Structure formats: structure tokens, C-alpha cells
Structure 1
Amino acid sequence: MSATRNSQPAERVGGSPNKPEKPVSDGPSFQQLLHAWVESHRTSLIDSLRRLLKQPIGSFFTCLVMAIALSLPMGLSLLLSNVERLGGSWQRAAQISLFLKLEASPAEAQRLRDEIAAMDDVAAADWISREQALEEFQQLSGLGEALKELPDNPLPSVILVTPEVVDKANLEALRLRLAEQPNVEQAQLDLVWVERLSAILKLGERFVFGLTLLLVSALLLVIGNTIRLHIENRRTEIEVIKLVGGTDSYVRRPFLYMGALYGVGAGLLAWLVLAFGLDWLNDAVVRLAGLYGSDFALGGVPPADGLSLLLGAVLLGYIGAWLAVARHLRELAPR
């Protein structure tokens, strides 16, 4: 008797029917990856801050050195801006003086002043009479008693013309056009001191730019050397992290945060140093300006410049830390 074989698998008595298997997940979701990334950065930031606070004196002096290097070029730039403001308006600095003929009557001088003030390239025109000119000359020259002995007033009336735009070629053309006006004896343009002041300011700007480049290089060296010391102190820890599979970005992250934190501290200190320094210097400037009858005073640190200084310090700290870690990362490979 031949036994028949069933090709179908036997069903176990009392067993439950087979359930469909759940699909296998391909990996962590985007939300999980984002949470892990944020948590890793938060941990690195807290760890870097904790390590800096464990050495408060060393961290403070490192930030102070960086702050001094940052405040020097910014302070010089602010002083140049104040000097340019002290020079006054360029339009008033480049006035054209029109000396009228002695026989010109006050009515003719007033009419000429009105005609000149109506010109398109003229911002303003002021008339100084012969009597006003003599009175001012007596006060400024100290020759009041001698001038009283003169039979007639030798000074002509003057029209001071303020140009709309300060340009050497346009000013010379305007001077020649004004010299052809009736009752004008001489048209004088004194632009030499304006050009000298402009040249001095441009020289100062170049000096500040060169000093900024030098100090930025010094800052990168300072922050790089500081981060290098932190790396050497944690060399064994980093080698263990790389042995268990830690990536270069994971190793680099705490030091980048440390460099950025150094930048934050240095930027805030530099802002404070500049504000205090300008306020301390302003007392002497106000006293000196008062002796010349001026109400000039130094301006403080504008908020926009202060924020730029802070962001620049953070960026320099980050770049310096990146360069330091990139240089020593190859040496940290496990042996």
C-alpha cells in the first residue's frame, strides 16, 4: 500500500493562523534625525560653555586680548568719522567769496545776491556789507584803534556763495561764471585746506585698513593657539571618541562653539571698551572745543557699528577655531 504525501504544509492543531509580517523600517525619520542633530549641538554648546567657565580668569584674559585688538581699528575709524564731522559741511568749507566793487551800492549787492542764490548749482548766498566786514576785521585783527584813523572804509562788500555740490572742476567753472557778474571785482575760491583735510582722512582710512588686517591676523593666531591648547588637553578623550566611530564633525563641533563663545565675549568687551573710551575722551574734547567757541562733541558707538563689531568677533572666533582644529585633526587619528 503506497502512502500518499501531501504537498501542503500541515497545520498545527490548536495553532493560530499566520499573521502578516510588519514592514521593516528603512531608518530613523527626519524628525528623529533633526532632534538628534539639535541635541548634539546643544550638548556641545553647553559643554564648551562649562569648560570656559571652569577657567574664568584664563577665558577672561583671552577675551580681553581679543577685545583690545578689535577695539583699536574700530576706535580709530570712529575718531576719523568725528574728525570728518568736525571739518563741517563740505559745501560750506568750499565757499566762493565774491568781492564787489567799492562803488557798488547796497541795493545792487542785494540784487546780485538774489540772482546768485537762484542759480541751480548754488545752495546759498550770503551778503556781508562793507560796515559788517570792517567790524569783523576790527574784532579779529586787533587793529581796531588804527582802523578808526582811516578816513574811509577800505573794505568791499562780500557775497559768500555756498555750492550745491563740491567738485573741483565744477567749482572752478562756477567761480569763473560768478567772476563775470556785474559789480564783481574778484572771485576767490579757497579749496586748498579742504583738499588737504580730504587727503589726511584718506590716509587715515588706509592706515586703519592696514591696521585692521594686521590685527585680524593676530586675532586668528590668538584664537588658534587657544583652541590648540584645549585640543591638547583633550587629546586622549578625542582619540577614544574616534576609536568608537566618532566623526570629524562630531569632534570639531565643541571647539567651534568654543571659538564662537570667545568671539561673543571679546565683542562685548570691545564694545564696552569703545563706549567707555570715547566717553572718557569726550570730556577733554568738549573742554577744548569750548575754548574755540564750538559745541563739538564726540559721538558714541552707533548700535549698527556695535553689532557689526560683535558679529565680526564671533566670525573671527569661529574661523580661528576651524583652522586650528583642521590643522590638528589629522594628528588626532587613533593609532
Structure 2
Amino acid sequence: MSATRMPPPQPAQRVGAAPKKNEPQTPDDGPDFRTQVHAWLESHRASLVDSLRRLGKQPIGSFFTCLVMAVALSLPMGLALLLDNVERLGGSWQRAAQISVFLHIDASDAQGQAMREEIASMSDVAEAEWISREQALTEFQQQTGLGEALKELPENPLPGVVLVTPKEIDKATLEALRQQLSELPRVQQAQLDMLWVERLTAILKLGERFVFGLTLLLVLALLLVIGNTIRLHIENRRTEIEVIKLVGGTDSYVRRPFLYMGALYGFGAGLLAWGLLAYGLDWLNSAVVRLSGLYGSDFALGGVPVSDGLSLLLGAVLLGYIGAWLAVARHLSELAPR
């Protein structure tokens, strides 16, 4: 009797179960873009809130850190604002570099007025003023006190003159303009006090260079202050940071709270510096107004323009951010778990 051949064993199938389908295996694409953006925003929000909370726990220390930064920020900005106000003292600086265009002695008032209009239409001229022979003689008598002596002269010896105010104070430009004016018809001489122009330009450039150098020094000081402050915060949280890196925290995750902290220090310092400048200029303005009133002038110091204040605030935030970045970048390699 031959043995019966048994079929190979088949996998068990649950009674009533639907037959299996060969479904394609799709790879896991991970979270979508919206989820990633939400997680990124939530991480930044948590870092910002944590930085604010830590600064709030030390209000006195945080205030004095911001105050030191504010003093360093307000010094160069205050000097720059004072320099701008000095340029307006007694009129514009361009008036100190006027070119006197003397006409021939026989030039009439009508010719002088026509000459003034022609000069005023030039591109390098900001303003032109005609002074007639009679007006020049009257002003000369008042300024010199020689009125009785001048009355003995048979005729007025002073020519008519056009006072030209240039748009720019530049030695080469002014000399070219003076040469152009001297070649006009009916012009006897075009005179410019180049020595005064050079002195004026040197004074302005000296003030600008001083403000620029002081700004660089104080910016370096601000970076050192914010860097040292952030370094202390890093040392206080060293154990916490080492644990975060031990469980897989990235450098950007570790760096983010300190960057927010540096930006917050800069924001507070910028607001304090803006307030100090506004109060300081207002306090100084009362004395300036009294002094200018004694000289018959209505000169007064201008306040802090909104654009300059916003620039100061933005610069302070950027300095705080950069200082924090440098401090964290320097110590990040030392924060590896032990």
C-alpha cells in the first residue's frame, strides 16, 4: 500500500477574515512643513519666555547691565547730535564760505539783479544775494563808524556785490566755482576766503573722526560687557546644558536662549539710551536758550529725531545679539558632556 502524499502546510487563516491584499509600502515622509514651522515657532517662543523669566529673576542686575550699555550707547550718539546742532549755530556753515562777486563800479542795479539771477541758477549755488552800492556804503558806515569821513568823498567808492552761498563745502569745488564766477561778464573780482574754508572743513572732519573713533571704542566695550554677562549665564547653566547635549540637543537649540537674552539686553539698553539722550538734550537746551538769547539769537538744541532713536534701538539690539553669539560660540565647544 502506497503512502498518501500530504500537501505542504499552509498558513493559518482566521475564519471570516478578508483576504490579504498586497498593499504597496509607502516610506514615512515625516512631519509636514506646517508642523515643522509650528514647532520652530514654539521653540523660539519658549526660548524668549525663558530668557524673560530669567532676566526677571534678577531685575537689579539686569537693569544695571542695561544702564551700563545705555551710557556707552548714548555718548557717541549724543556727540553726533551736538555736532549736528553746532552746524546750525548762527545759520548754516555754507554761509561762512560765501563767495563775494564784485562787479565793475559802473554796473547798474538792473545789471546786478540780472547777474544775481544768473548766478542763482547755477547747479553748485544754493543762494545768491545782491547788495547794491548804496546798501554796501550804508553797511560799511555802520560797521566801521567812518560815516563822517565817507561823506567827504565825491562819490561812492564801493562796487555792487553778489554774495554767493555754495551748496557744498569742498576746497576743489569752491575753487572751481570761484573761477567760473570770475569769468562772468561785468565781474571785476570773485573773492573767497579759502583759509577759513579749510579751517572750517578741518574742524568738521575732526569732530566726525572723533565721534567715529569713540563709537568704535564703545562698541568694543559693549561687546565685552554683553559677552561677559552671557558668559556668566552660561556658567550658571553649565550642568543643564551638558544634560541637554547628552540627550541629543543641538548647538542651535543650546544657543537660542542666550541669543534672545543678548537681544533683550540690547533692547533695554537702547530704550534707556534714547531716554537719557532726550532728557540730557532737554536739560542742556534750557541753558543754551538763555545763552543764545543774550546774543539776540533764537538758537535752540533739537531733540532726538525719531529716525535716529529707532536706529539707536536697532543698533543696540544687533550689538546685544552679536555679543551673545560671540560669547556662546567661544564657549560652546567647552559645553560637551563630561
Q: What is the TM-score when the length of structure 1 is the normalising length?
A: 0.86
Q: How does 1:90-129 map to 2 (within 5 A)?
A: 91-99=94-102, 104=106, 108-119=108-119, 120-121=121-122, 124-129=127-132
For structure 1, which runs of at least 5 residues remain unmatched after alignment? Answer: none
Counterpart of 1:50?
53
For the residue of structure 1 that corresponds to 2:164, the secondary structure is strand
SS of the aligned residue for 1:162 comes to strand
Native 8 Å contact 2:97 2:196 kept in 1: no
Note the alpha carbon deviations across 1:135-165, whole angstroms, 9 max, x for none: 4344444x3xx63365247662432331555
Instruction: Say yes or no: does 1:174 pair with 2:210.
Output: no
Q: Structure 2 vs 1, CA of residues 18 and 233 (structure 1 numbering), >3 Å: closer, same or farther?
A: farther
Q: Distance in 2 between matches of 1:126 and 1:307?
A: 40
Of 215-224 and 32-41, the range deviating more from structure 2: 32-41
- Residues paired across the two proteins, number: 326
- The amino acid across from 2:118 in the alignment is A
Answering whether residue 22 of structure 2 is matched by residue 17 of structure 1, we say: no
Return the offset for 1:177. Answer: 2.2
Counterpart Cα distance in 2 of 1:101 and 1:130: 11
* Distance (Å, rounded) in 1 between the aligned partners of 2:14 and 2:268: 76
Give runs of aligned pairs for residues 254-293 of structure 1, distance below 5 A.
Answer: 254-293=257-296
Q: Is the 8 A contact 1:97 1:189 kept in 2?
A: yes
Shift of 1:89: 3.9
Q: Percent identity?
A: 67
Q: 1:120-199 counterparts in 2 under 5 A?
A: 120-121=121-122, 124-141=127-144, 143=145, 147-148=147-148, 150-152=151-153, 156-163=158-165, 165-166=167-168, 167-177=173-183, 181=186, 184=188, 187-199=190-202
8 Å contact from structure 2 (residues 67, 269) kept in 1 = yes
**Structure 1 position 116, deviation (Å):** 4.4
The answer to whether the Cα contact below 8 Å between 1:45 and 1:257 also exists between their aligned partners in 2 is yes
| Change beyond 3 A, Cα 1:174–1:290 | farther
| Whole-Å separation in 2 of the counterparts to 1:295 and 1:274 | 22
Query: Which deviates more from structure 2 when the two are superposed, residues 290-299 or residues 230-239?
Result: 290-299
Q: Kindly tell me: are residues 101 and 10 of structure 1, through their superposed partners in 2, closer, same or farther at Cα, counting changes over 3 Å?
A: closer
Distance 1:148 1:74 in 2: 54
1:12-48 deviation per Cα after TM superposition (whole angstroms, max 9, x unaligned): 3624124556746242222222222111111111000
Is 2:235 the partner of 1:229? no
Query: Is the contact made by 2:116 and 2:130 (CA closer than 8 Å) also made in structure 1?
Result: no
1:295 counterpart residue number: 298
Runs of 4+ in 1 over 4 A off after TM superposition: 18-24, 98-102, 122-125, 163-166
Letter in 1 for 2:186: Q
The one-character-per-residue Cα deviations of 1:104-134 (angstroms, maximum 9, x if unpaired) are: 47xx243234234324536654343454334
**1:75-86 mapped onto 2 (5 Å cutoff):** 75-86=78-89
Conserved? CA contact 1:113–1:159, under 8 Å = no
Q: Tell me the amino acid that sits aligned with residue 31 of structure 1.
A: R
Q: Could you list the per-position Cα deviations for residues 58-107 of structure 1 after superposition, in whole angstroms to 9, with x for gaps in the alignment?
A: 001100111111111111111122222336445533333345666x47xx
1:54-65 superposed matches below 5 A: 54-65=57-68
Amino acid at match of 2:161: I
Q: Please give the root-mean-square deviation of Cα atoms over the aligned residues, in Å.
A: 2.7
Q: Give the one of 239, 244, 250 matched to 1:241.
A: 244
Given that 1:235 and 1:332 are in contact with CA atoms closer than 8 Å, whether structure 2 keeps it comes out as yes
Once residues 257 and 15 of structure 2 are traced to their aligned partners in structure 1, the CA distance between those partners, rounded to angstroms, is 60
Contact 1:110-1:127 at 8 Å conserved across structures: no
